[in-house]
Amino acid sequence: MVNEKQLRDEVKKLVSRDDVKYVIGYEQGTYGFQVTPSFAFTPEEAERFIFSPLCANNLSVYLMLEEKPPLRKGEKEDTRKVGLVVKGCDARAVVQILQEKGLKRESLVIIGVPCTGVIDPKKITVKFPHQIKPVDVREEGNHYVLTINGKNQKIPKDELLFEKCKQCEYPTPVIHDVLLGDEVKSTKKEEYKEIKTLEKKALKEKWEFWSKAFDRCIRCYACRNVCPLCYCKECIVDQLSPQWIYRSVNRSENTVWNLIRAYHLAGRCSGCGECERACPMNIPLTMLNKKIEKDIKELFQYVAGVNLEEKPLLAMFKPNDTEDTIL
């Protein structure tokens, strides 16, 4: 993992620059295994920054969440840059946003952190429930060392890692202005094992599995709000005329919402898994996203968020695209 002093120095240097508005990073949360996003406007505020295996949040969502009120008469637009600390998967989301021209490359300063995997908060809270005081977590080789109440505990990495991190193909940010520490090379490969086994099942079984999952949905839209690539000015579920998806919470509407959410990320999802992490009802949303990711890899040989020069998947075509099922 990253040397935190180096990170803070780099952030301080950035924030003191005239053309940088603020830097987004992580700071120690108030309790348990929480790490909260932090915004540094001054070099002093940069002192709070940390980076630990608990930093699971994808901070690139804050780039799109920033409110830009209309300018007053005579007022000039604030064109200062925004700094951002990114891991491998977050960087892919940034590339995707840039590719779609959601942001300009000049408006960003990206601090890349070569990532060796982050801890799934759901897994760790199952292991240590009722943890109130903040916990220090370090990485040592193949283990995590947790300091709880002054005692050190060693836990194998595999038990706590996010599922996505176990198959991560891009641990080093594909886009960065500054890279902290050495590049991490990945030998892992995405195998889509879970998805392939579900795919092979009968239609009825698949529907049983998914309808059970979608029935749990309470339509809080946390999956949408946490997603760095869900930044439509007006989301389809907020639209009232025409109202495509009703607001009632029932199987039909829930299914359609989840399908449309997944579809809207087709060829854009970078697989950061934030939707599933934010979901309060534990719906396996990454299984939907990964399925589409796998399909476009097979059908169109396309991987989202890797190449800045490429056009978005659904905005281009090849004359020899698949035509098997067309009458």
The residues binding another protein (CB under 8 A) are 198-199, 203-211, 236, 244-246, 248, 250-253, 255-256, 259-260, 262-263, 266-267, 288, 291-292, 295-296, 299-300, 313-315, 317, 319, 321-323, 325-327
Smallest gap from Cβ 253 to another protein, in A, equals 8
Element at 14 (helix H, strand E): helix 4-15
Q: What are phi and psi of 266, to 5 degrees?
A: -60, 125
Nearer to another protein, 128 or 300 (CB): 300
Q: Kindly state the tokens that stand for 148.
A: 């709880």
How far is it between the farthest Cα atoms of the chain? 68
Smallest gap from Cβ 327 to another protein, in A, equals 4
Smallest gap from Cβ 312 to another protein, in A, equals 11
Smallest gap from Cβ 325 to another protein, in A, equals 6
Nearer to another protein, 149 or 325 (CB): 325
Distance (Å) of CA 284 to CA 131, 221, 273, 320 = 25, 14, 10, 33
* CB 273 within 8 Å of CB 282: no
Nearer to another protein, 42 or 252 (CB): 252
By DSSP bridging, strand 20-28 and strand 49-50 are antiparallel
The DSSP code sequence of 38-58 is EEESSTTGGGGEE--TT----
Nearer to another protein, 30 or 325 (CB): 325
SS3 (DSSP) at 24: strand
Nearer to another protein, 41 or 207 (CB): 207
Smallest gap from Cβ 218 to another protein, in A, equals 17
The DSSP code sequence of 103-139 is S-GGGEEEEE------B-HHHHHHHSTT--S--EEEE
Instruction: Determine the distance from the C-alpha atom of residue 300 to the mean position of all C-alpha atoms in its chain, rounded to a whole number.
Output: 23
Smallest gap from Cβ 285 to another protein, in A, equals 12
Nearer to another protein, 69 or 319 (CB): 319
Smallest gap from Cβ 238 to another protein, in A, equals 14
Q: Could you give the count of Cα atoms lying within 13 Å of 93 in the half-sphere of its Cβ?
A: 27
Comparing C-alpha atoms, which of 174, 169, 164, 162 is closest to residue 187?
169
Nearer to another protein, 81 or 268 (CB): 268
